[in-house]
């Protein structure tokens, strides 16, 4: 096997010092345009590539950011990961995806992996690390961004939605459409986001003096929506308005209503989802839903990681936007 081309090889061909090669490839470093041109020409001839990982081990700045997430194949999660990785690349950082399950232990193991690879930071989308492990990360110079988690910790940025407000807005929309038998459809994931949506919806129903039907089972998936939808829509007191905790669940509920039970949407039942995934805009669903500010999440996370370090916890609460389509009565 051929030996990897080194900076020393480039220096010898260009007739400059090893330090000059390093400066030529370091943004903002002091080096003459003539020397930089010689170095680039030699590097091109030899096929030399800068080893940023090795440089990072020397400077403690690897540019690597761990993206720790579960359910990465779901539409919303994959969209958020795409936005985060794009913003990281634009900031000259590299996203390292670590796929986990929903458990805190799985997230803890992912963080240990991240530390071993000298990552600069971790963006956590699933689960919560133990406080002691979070402190180990901070002592190792790692910064943490928690997205839609429910704890504030030193040295972390917490990005959250006002999910309770969205729940109240969903109730108001269904109530204005004439719905009086309302239901909340969800999974058993129990994440802070899903629970806050439920709480906001339930609180608005209580304020209006209406009893709320709730049904939840399984994972946050289309199949769960199909199962929950069949149970809700075959009840003697069938709901005429359903708020679903996610669009995947809403799509399942919609297919239960239209395809299996031959109900009319929105005439017989109005349905609202959450996330505004790509499928929500398909003609077969045309789902009224809430759009998450994915790009704002990504920009805020990367901006925080690009700032000088500090240990004060910071929290940013963003709002979702209601997207009106055709699953709620006018």
Domain of 133, CATH number, reads 3.40.50.2300
Q: Does the pLDDT at position 170 exceed 60?
A: yes
Nearest by Cα to 274 from 217, 226, 221, 320: 320
Same-domain status, 182 and 262: yes
Same-domain status, 94 and 146: yes
The neighbour count for residue 316, using CB atoms within 10 Å, is 13
Same-domain status, 179 and 243: yes
Same-domain status, 298 and 285: no
Per DSSP, what are the bridge partners of residue 123?
Answer: 67, 145
**For 178-201, what is the mean pLDDT?**
94
Task: Confirm whether 198 is domain-assigned.
Answer: yes
What confidence tens digit (pLDDT) does each residue in 209-227 have? 999 999 999 999 999 999 9
Task: Confirm whether 277 is domain-assigned.
Answer: yes
Q: Does the pLDDT at position 310 exceed 70?
A: no
Nearest by Cα to 225 from 148, 293, 267, 285: 285
What confidence tens digit (pLDDT) does each residue in 35-89 have? 888 888 888 887 776 655 555 544 456 788 989 888 888 899 999 999 999 999 9
Task: Confirm whether 245 is domain-assigned.
Answer: yes
- What is the reported pLDDT for 151? 65
Q: Does the pLDDT at position 1 exceed 50?
A: no
- What is the reported pLDDT for 278? 95
Same-domain status, 97 and 143: yes
Q: Does the pLDDT at position 274 exceed 80?
A: yes
What residue numbers bound the domain in which 256 lies? Answer: 163-291
> Beta strand pairing status for 289-291 and 321-323?
antiparallel
**For 183-207, what is the mean pLDDT?**
95
Q: Does the pLDDT at position 128 exceed 80?
A: no
Task: Confirm whether 324 is domain-assigned.
Answer: no
**What does pLDDT average to over the chain?**
87
- What is the reported pLDDT for 322? 97
Same-domain status, 246 and 152: no
- What is the reported pLDDT for 57? 46
Q: Domain total for the chain?
A: 3
Residue 20 and residue 148: Cα distance in Å, rounded?
Answer: 46
47 exposure class (CB count in 10 Å sphere: 0-12, 13-18, 19+): exposed
Same-domain status, 170 and 265: yes
**For 171-196, what is the mean pLDDT?**
95
Same-domain status, 235 and 302: no
Q: Does the pLDDT at position 153 exceed 70?
A: no
- What is the reported pLDDT for 94? 87
Which position has the token pair 């969903």? 170
Same-domain status, 152 and 183: no
Same-domain status, 217 and 281: yes
Same-domain status, 178 and 282: yes
Per-residue pLDDT band for 119 (boundaries 50, 70, 90) equals confident
Task: Confirm whether 241 is domain-assigned.
Answer: yes
Same-domain status, 39 and 71: no
**For 238-251, what is the mean pLDDT?**
98
- What is the reported pLDDT for 307? 81
Q: Does the pLDDT at position 135 exceed 70?
A: yes
- Total-model pTM: 0.80
Q: Check whether the bond before 272 is cis (ω within 30° of 0).
A: no
Task: Confirm whether 308 is domain-assigned.
Answer: yes
Q: Which helix (H) or strand (E) holds 186?
A: strand 182-186
Per-residue pLDDT band for 13 (boundaries 50, 70, 90) equals confident
Per-residue pLDDT band for 26 (boundaries 50, 70, 90) equals confident
Task: Confirm whether 270 is domain-assigned.
Answer: yes
Token pair recorded at residue 58: 């020397």
Task: Confirm whether 170 is domain-assigned.
Answer: yes
Q: Does the pLDDT at position 282 exceed 60?
A: yes
């Amino acid at each position: 096997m051929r030996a990897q081309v080194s900076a020393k090889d480039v220096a010898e061909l260009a007739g400059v010092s090893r330090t000059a090669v390093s400066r030529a490839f370091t943004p903002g470093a002091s080096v003459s345009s003539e020397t930089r041109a010689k170095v680039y020409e030699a590097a091109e001839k030899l096929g030399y590539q800068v080893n940023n990982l090795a440089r990072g081990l020397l400077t403690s700045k690897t540019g690597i950011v761990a993206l720790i997430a579960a359910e990465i194949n779901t539409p919303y999660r994959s969209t958020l990961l795409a936005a985060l990785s794009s913003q990281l690349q634009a900031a000259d950082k590299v996203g390292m995806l670590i796929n986990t399950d929903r458990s805190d232990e799985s997230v803890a193991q992912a963080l240990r992996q991240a530390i071993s690879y000298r990552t600069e930071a971790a963006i956590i989308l699933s689960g919560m690390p133990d406080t002691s492990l979070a402190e180990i990360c901070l002592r190792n110079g790692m910064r943490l961004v928690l997205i839609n988690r429910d704890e504030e910790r030193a040295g972390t940025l917490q990005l959250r939605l006002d999910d309770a407000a969205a729940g109240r807005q969903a109730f108001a929309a269904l109530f204005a459409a004439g719905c009086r038998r309302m239901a909340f459809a969800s999974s058993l994931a129990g994440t802070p986001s899903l629970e806050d949506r439920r709480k906001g919806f339930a609180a608005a129903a209580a304020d209006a003096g209406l009893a709320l039907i709730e049904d939840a089972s399984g994972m946050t998936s289309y199949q769960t929506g199909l199962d929950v939808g069949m149970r809700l829509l075959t009840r003697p007191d069938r709901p005429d308005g359903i708020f679903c905790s996610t669009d995947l669940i809403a799509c399942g509920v919609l297919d239960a209503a239209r395809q299996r039970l031959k109900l009319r949407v929105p005439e017989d039942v109005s349905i609202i989802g959450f996330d505004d995934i790509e499928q929500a805009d398909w003609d077969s669903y045309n789902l009224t839903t809430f759009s998450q500010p994915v790009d704002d999440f990504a920009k805020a996370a990367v901006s925080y990681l690009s700032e000088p370090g500090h240990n004060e916890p910071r929290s940013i609460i963003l709002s979702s936007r209601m997207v009106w389509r055709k699953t709620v009565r006018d």
